[in-house]
Structure 1
Amino acid sequence: MSSPVLEKPANSETTYVILYNVSWEQLEQLNVALLGTSARLTYLDGILEIMSPLSDDHEDNKKTLAMLLEAYMRAKKIRFYGRGSATIGQKEDKTRREPDESYNLGTKKPIPDLILEITVTSGGINKLEIYQRLRVPEVWFWQDGLLSIYCLQGDSYIKVTQSSLLPDLNLNLLAQYARMADQYDAVNEYSQIISKTE
């Protein structure tokens, strides 16, 4: 068994490290060793990304976007099941990831239908490659106040301007409220607006 190789050491500007040549067994050992540290592990084909605890900005953005999305689905009576950041992936796919937020629509399923990813630091492992292997239908990235939507079509993701799962959702309006400074006011005002459009 080869030893993992540290490719990118952490510094004051880097919130993750990358290890190469990591076996699935080594991944499982590191997962146990890092329990309780709030580190997040992402794995693809022997490459392991260890992300340091997430920033307040990351968590605030994630929660605001999730609350807005959930307000929309409740107002439109769309049945959904929040999965949070439950780990997905398996040894056979050579993948492992804890999404920032995830949902099943309609019924509970082993793989999320919709994943939200909040991007604060660029670089690292290609999350879309992981989700493509797992056949996640839709992935949303929030970065610098903008939403990018990727829908699985065939065997690859296509960047789109409208959600396939939620075709009536006004993404520009959702993003506008997600950028508001006050989370409580953002969710309340957005909920009032979407309830009027029923």
Structure 2
Amino acid sequence: MLLELKRLTIPPGHKVLLQDVSWQEFEKILEDLGEHRATKIAYDQGLLEIMTPLSEHEVRKVLVSNLVEALLEELEIEFWCLGSTTFKNELMKQGIEPDNCFYIKNERAIRGKNRLDLAFDPPPDLALEIELTSRPHPHIYAALGVPELWRFESGNLQINRLQESHYIEVEYSLIFPNFPLKEIIPYYLNQCNTQGRNKTMKAFRQWVRQEKIKNQSLNY
């Protein structure tokens, strides 16, 4: 199977599905494909998906991630960004590589670790999926216990919160309560295209500072 995978060319925006892939085969494929690759994977009880993102997808992923990082920094919240790390759980036979992910509340629990095992370590607090192709797999994230899944599609941000064993769409993130991110993140993402990244990030940071002061005054 590995030889066939190495010969396989997956154009950007396309994917291949492999059925009846055992966990041992899945682990071997991950090892042989390596971490520095263009493709991304999802594994769901024997079904392995391998896809190659579009370049537009990668640009949006970086910009949305920059906005989240700026928000966390301005709020002085410690975080650890692990990018498209492969998260997997052998007992559940589930595995996924998000577009990006953040440890926030659980940052201290994984600080300094080079390898994570969801059988022992907590899942990321927030996962991002930029959907220019059909690849969200919310049931895998739910099975792995990721508290929040943000899905960005067609210019809209969808915030999903894990409730029991499935996600429900909500207006506000539990991580960033009182911040209208469903409107603000898409707005500043569009501003990057017209005003430039650096100018937009400065404006976004200023907005966060103003909202922070506003929220503090409301709590008094």
User: For the superposition of Structure 1 and Structure 2, which TM-score range results when normalised by the shorter chain?
Assistant: 0.7 to 0.9
Structure 1 position 160 matched with structure 2 position 174: no
Instruction: Return the TM-score normalized by structure 1.
Output: 0.85
Aligned equivalents of 2:28, 2:175: Cα separation in 1? 37
SS in 1 for 2:138: helix
Q: Quote how far apart the aligned CAs of 1:16 are.
A: 0.6
Match of 1:116 among 120, 124, 128: 128
Q: Which residue of 2 aligns with 1:100?
A: 99
- 1:149-178, Cα deviation, whole Å (9 max, x unpaired): 110111211111211221122211122102
Q: Quote how far apart the aligned CAs of 1:62 are.
A: 0.8
| Farther-moved stretch of structure 1 (150-159 vs 79-88) | 79-88
Q: Which residue of 2 aligns with 1:184?
A: 198
Question: Residues 178 and 155 from structure 1, CA distance in 2 versus in 1: closer, same or farther, beyond 3 angstroms?
Answer: same
Unpaired runs of 5+ residues, structure 2, are: 1-7, 110-120, 214-220
Q: Which residue of 1 aligns with 2:156?
A: 146
SS in 1 for 2:87: coil
- The 8 Å contact of residues 102 and 127 in structure 2, kept in 1 or not, is answered as yes
Aligned equivalents of 1:138, 1:11: Cα separation in 2? 30
Q: Quote how far apart the aligned CAs of 1:32 are.
A: 3.1
Aligned equivalents of 2:137, 2:22: Cα separation in 1? 19
Unpaired runs of 5+ residues, structure 1, are: 1-8
Q: Quote how far apart the aligned CAs of 1:55 are.
A: 2.4
Question: Residues 190 and 37 from structure 1, CA distance in 2 versus in 1: closer, same or farther, beyond 3 angstroms?
Answer: closer
Question: Residues 95 and 178 from structure 1, CA distance in 2 versus in 1: closer, same or farther, beyond 3 angstroms?
Answer: same
Aligned equivalents of 2:189, 2:125: Cα separation in 1? 21
Aligned equivalents of 1:194, 1:145: Cα separation in 2? 21
| Paired residue type of 2:133 | T
SS in 2 for 1:79: coil
Structure with the larger helix share: 2
The percent of aligned pairs where both chains have the same amino acid is 30
Aligned equivalents of 2:161, 2:137: Cα separation in 1? 14
Q: Quote how far apart the aligned CAs of 1:64 are.
A: 0.7
Question: Residues 166 and 37 from structure 1, CA distance in 2 versus in 1: closer, same or farther, beyond 3 angstroms?
Answer: closer
Q: Quote how far apart the aligned CAs of 1:47 are.
A: 0.6
- The 8 Å contact of residues 113 and 136 in structure 1, kept in 2 or not, is answered as yes
Aligned equivalents of 2:12, 2:126: Cα separation in 1? 30
| Paired residue type of 1:42 | A
Higher relative contact order (CA 8 A, sep 6+): 1
- The 8 Å contact of residues 106 and 125 in structure 2, kept in 1 or not, is answered as no
| Paired residue type of 2:158 | S
- The 8 Å contact of residues 22 and 46 in structure 2, kept in 1 or not, is answered as yes
Q: Quote how far apart the aligned CAs of 1:10 are.
A: 8.1
| Paired residue type of 1:97 | I
Q: Which residue of 1 aligns with 2:218?
A: none
Instruction: Return the TM-score normalized by structure 2.
Output: 0.77
Q: Which residue of 1 aligns with 2:116?
A: none
- The 8 Å contact of residues 10 and 16 in structure 1, kept in 2 or not, is answered as no
Structure 1's consecutive aligned runs of 4 or more residues displaced over 3 angstroms after TM superposition are 9-14
Q: Which residue of 1 aligns with 2:19?
A: 20
Aligned length: 187
